[in-house]
Amino acid sequence: MISTVQVIGIGTGDPGLVTYEAAAALREVDVFLVADKGDAKADLVEARRALCEHFIGDSHPYRFIEVPDPKRGPDAERDSTAYGAGVRDWHAARVAAYAAIIDQLPEGSTVGFLVWGDPAFYDSTLRIVDALRETSGPFEVRVHPGISAPQLLAARHAIPLNRIGTSIHVTTGRRLVQEYSPDLGDVVVMLDGHLACRDLVDQHPDLTIYWGAYLGGPAEVLRSGRLAEVIDELVALRAELREQHGWVMDTYLLRP
């Protein structure tokens, strides 16, 4: 039975964005389990591998096991109930894939999960680790925070995420249009494959958008401006970037 699971927030791929605590945790791991999401996201697996080489080097022997990610259905075509059920099935398949590996590891091993950004933001690792406790536990769990995309977005634009004494609402592209109201305060949008904020332009043309893609990486791109004025450029730019890199991860802030 394994002894420990380290859940390590690694920022967005740049070693400069890894905390001292996270770097120390990397050096305690015997086996890293990394989801392999196919060719389009191979860059992200490589970024994780490079971080391990950078921080661990020869100081501690470790293995890096890529676990093929179970196929996930077409989220965009699902309503919220079907989406929730689809995600739950996908988690169950992921847990089974990880458990099959963990159960074969030497007694007392430390397993590491490298979480993009921070484990607290739209990441299923901690839910998966909880489920693994049931199938392959008991083991100790240690969580190390990382720099998340919203934090980097704010830093790169040199802005705070909130205005004085007001709220910050964090949501997904899927939920944005149905729940948007200026009363929410500043809204951070993640997991938006289609720039859903386009559908807010008619009613809220004066929103300011602060947008960033590939934050923290060599391909980082930033744009900001009045939503009604920049949205067409952003839609075209996002499509171009996706074409060029095979994937795009972007986050934005909408400020009334």
Ligand X SMILES: C[S@@+](CC[C@H](N)C(=O)[O-])C[C@H]1O[C@@H](n2cnc3c(N)ncnc32)[C@H](O)[C@@H]1O
Interface residues with ligand X (CB under 6 A)?
Answer: 12, 116-118, 121-123, 148-149, 190-191, 212-217, 249-251
DSSP 186-223: EEEEES-TT-GGGGGTTT-TT-EEEEEESTTSTT-EEE
Helix runs in the chain, H state only: 20-26, 42-56, 80-102, 125-136, 149-157, 173-179, 227-245
Nearest approach in angstroms of CB 197 to ligand X is 13
Beta bridge partners of 142: 6
- 81, 84, 85, 87: CA torsion to nearest 10: 160
- By beta-carbon proximity to ligand X, the closer residue of 111 and 149 is 149
- By beta-carbon proximity to ligand X, the closer residue of 137 and 242 is 242
Nearest approach in angstroms of CB 248 to ligand X is 8
Enter the tokens of residue 202: 């008619």
State how far the Cα of 33 lies from the Cα of 170, in Å rounded to an integer. Answer: 28
- By beta-carbon proximity to ligand X, the closer residue of 30 and 250 is 250
Residue nearest ligand X, CB atom distance: 117
Nearest approach in angstroms of CB 241 to ligand X is 11
State how far the Cα of 153 lies from the Cα of 11, in Å rounded to an integer. Answer: 12
138: left (phi over 0), alpha (psi -120 to 50) or beta: beta
Nearest approach in angstroms of CB 45 to ligand X is 14
Nearest approach in angstroms of CB 155 to ligand X is 12
Q: Write down how long the chain is.
A: 256
State how far the Cα of 251 lies from the Cα of 48, in Å rounded to an integer. Answer: 20
- By beta-carbon proximity to ligand X, the closer residue of 105 and 190 is 190
- By beta-carbon proximity to ligand X, the closer residue of 62 and 247 is 247
- By beta-carbon proximity to ligand X, the closer residue of 18 and 105 is 18
State how far the Cα of 40 lies from the Cα of 105, in Å rounded to an integer. Answer: 29
Nearest approach in angstroms of CB 141 to ligand X is 17
Nearest approach in angstroms of CB 144 to ligand X is 13
- By beta-carbon proximity to ligand X, the closer residue of 2 and 180 is 180
Enter the tokens of residue 212: 């960033």
